[in-house]
Amino acid sequence: MWILVFFFAFITMAFVAFACFFPEWVGITGKKAREIQEHQKEDPKA
């Protein structure tokens, strides 16, 4: 039982680490992607 708890905690911590360092890998929009989206947006005032 405790092995499963530790395994779940380890997997969760690994996912959080990946989310911080490699956000695009886990489906989170990273800084670079946001910059590209901002650049591609049309001017709302136009």
- pLDDT tens for the 46 residues of the chain, in order: 999 999 999 999 998 988 888 877 777 777 777 788 788 876 666 5
| CA dihedral (9, 22, 27, 38) positive or negative | positive
Buried residues in 19-45 as b, exposed as e (16+ CB within 10 A): eeeebeeeeeeeeeeeeeeeeeeeeee
Question: What is the C-alpha to C-alpha distance for residues 7 and 26, in angstroms, rounded to an integer?
Answer: 19
> Which DSSP category does 44 fall into?
T
Question: What is the C-alpha to C-alpha distance for residues 6 and 22, in angstroms, rounded to an integer?
Answer: 23
pTM (predicted TM-score): 0.56
